[in-house]
Amino acid sequence: MALALDYLETGDRGLLQAIAATRAARHLATHAARVSLAGENPSPRDLVERILTAPAIAAVRPADIRARLRLIENDEEARRRCWAEAAAGLPRGALSGVTLFLTVGYDIGVAVGGNASLNLAHPRFAATSAELWFYAVHELHHAGFQKFHDLPRLADIRTTHQLAELIRYLTTMEGMAVYAAKHWREEADALAVDPDYVALLDPVRMAGYEAEFFAAYGALAEAPPRPLAPADWDILERMSTGDRLWYRVGARMAERIDRERGRDVLQALVVRGPADFFDLYADLAGEKTPAGAETK
C-alpha cells in the first residue's frame, strides 16, 4: 500500500516493479487469472501497470486513501470485529493464516487462495468510511470459504453443467458473505446504504428475484449438458450486475438456513459445499406449514 501511494503521489514508474514484487500484487494477479474467461495469466508486473496507469486512477486522491488507511490502522476495535463477524459464519479456525491486503484500484475487494484484499481507492468508500469494515467482513468470509473450496478458473468451464456449478458456487460464497455483514450493518443502521440489503428487506421483491434466479439456474442445471455457446455467458451479467441475483438470493438462502436450522448447520455447509447448501435450501423451500401453505 505504501509503495502504491508513493506512485500515485509521484508518478515514478520506477516504483511499479517494486509494487509488483509484493505479496498483494501476486494475490491480485492470481485472482485475475482465475476470473479471466480468455485464460489470461497476467504477470504481477503487467497487472500492476494496468491498474495504476488506468485513466480512472487519475481521479483518485492519495490523501483520501491515506485517511482510509489511517482509519483501518488506528481503529483496533473495529479491526477485531471485522475478523469476528467474518468468523461467526465460518467453521472454527477458517481464518487462521488469512491475510487481508489493502490495495489500490482492483475491484472493490477480492479473495483467492485463502487470502483477501480491499481496494481503498474504490468510490464506494468515499461516501462513508464504515463501508470499509463491512466489505472487509465480506472479503474475509470469502477467504475462509475458499479454504475449503477453491475459486474456480473460469477458462476451464466448457459445458452448461459446469456453468451451473459455477453459479451454485458463487451464489453460495457471495450470499454467505453478504449475510455475514448483515448483523453489523443492522446494528450500525447501515442497511439502507447498500442496495443489496435494501432488496433483502423487501420480501415481495426478493420472492421475484428468487423465482428469476432459480428459473435461470434450473435451465442450465436440469437440462442435458452441452458445450457452452458464447451467449450462455450472458447469464453471469444477470447474476452479478443489475439485480445482483446471486448476491441477494444467496444471502436470502443463507439467512433462512441460519434461522431455521441454526448457525452450526450454516457453518457446516461452508465445509460441505455449494451442492449441499442448495439441497438444504430446496428442502426448506419444500417444507409445509401446519396450514399446508409453502413456507417462503
229-278 pLDDT, tens per residue? 999 999 999 999 999 999 999 999 999 999 999 999 999 999 999 999 99
Domain check: are 65 and 16 in the same one? yes
Q: For the chain, how many structural domains are there in total?
A: 2
Domain check: are 127 and 261 in the same one? no
Domain check: are 10 and 137 in the same one? yes
Domain check: are 136 and 168 in the same one? no
Please list the alpha-helical segments (H only) found in the chain: 2-10, 15-20, 23-34, 44-52, 62-74, 76-88, 124-127, 130-146, 160-180, 182-187, 195-200, 203-221, 234-240, 245-261, 263-272, 274-286
Domain containing 30: what range?
Answer: 2-146
- The answer to whether residue 181 sits within a structural domain is yes
**Cα 120–135–201 angle (5° rounding)?**
140
- The answer to whether residue 294 sits within a structural domain is no
Q: Which of 115, 146, 177 lies at the terminal end of a domain, its last residue? A: 146
Question: Given this model, what pLDDT does residue 59 score?
Answer: 87
Domain check: are 213 and 193 in the same one? yes
CB 136 within 8 A of CB 100: yes
- The answer to whether residue 82 sits within a structural domain is yes
- The answer to whether residue 32 sits within a structural domain is yes
Q: How confident is the prediction for the chain on average, in pLDDT? A: 94
Domain check: are 7 and 32 in the same one? yes
Domain check: are 163 and 140 in the same one? no
CB 28 within 8 A of CB 47: yes
Domain check: are 55 and 113 in the same one? yes
- The answer to whether residue 293 sits within a structural domain is no
Over 60: is that where the pLDDT of 81 sits?
A: yes
Over 50: is that where the pLDDT of 289 sits?
A: no
Domain check: are 163 and 63 in the same one? no
Rg over alpha carbons for the chain, rounded to the nearest Å, is 20
Domain check: are 112 and 187 in the same one? no
Q: pLDDT, tens digit, for every residue of 181-233?
A: 999 999 999 999 999 999 999 999 999 999 999 999 999 999 999 999 999 99
Beta pairing class for 100-103 and 109-112 = unpaired
Closest by Cα among 22, 23, 29 to 44: 29
Q: Which of 146, 181, 214 lies at the terminal end of a domain, its last residue? A: 146
Over 70: is that where the pLDDT of 4 sits?
A: yes
Q: pLDDT, tens digit, for every residue of 136-187?
A: 999 999 999 999 999 999 999 999 999 999 999 999 999 999 999 999 999 9
Full-model pTM: 0.94
- The answer to whether residue 198 sits within a structural domain is yes
Domain check: are 161 and 219 in the same one? yes
CA 73 to CA 250: how far, in whole Å? 32
CA 247 to CA 179: how far, in whole Å? 9
Domain check: are 49 and 114 in the same one? yes
- The answer to whether residue 276 sits within a structural domain is yes
- The answer to whether residue 296 sits within a structural domain is no
Q: Which of 112, 146, 180 lies at the terminal end of a domain, its last residue? A: 146
CA 116 to CA 177: how far, in whole Å? 12
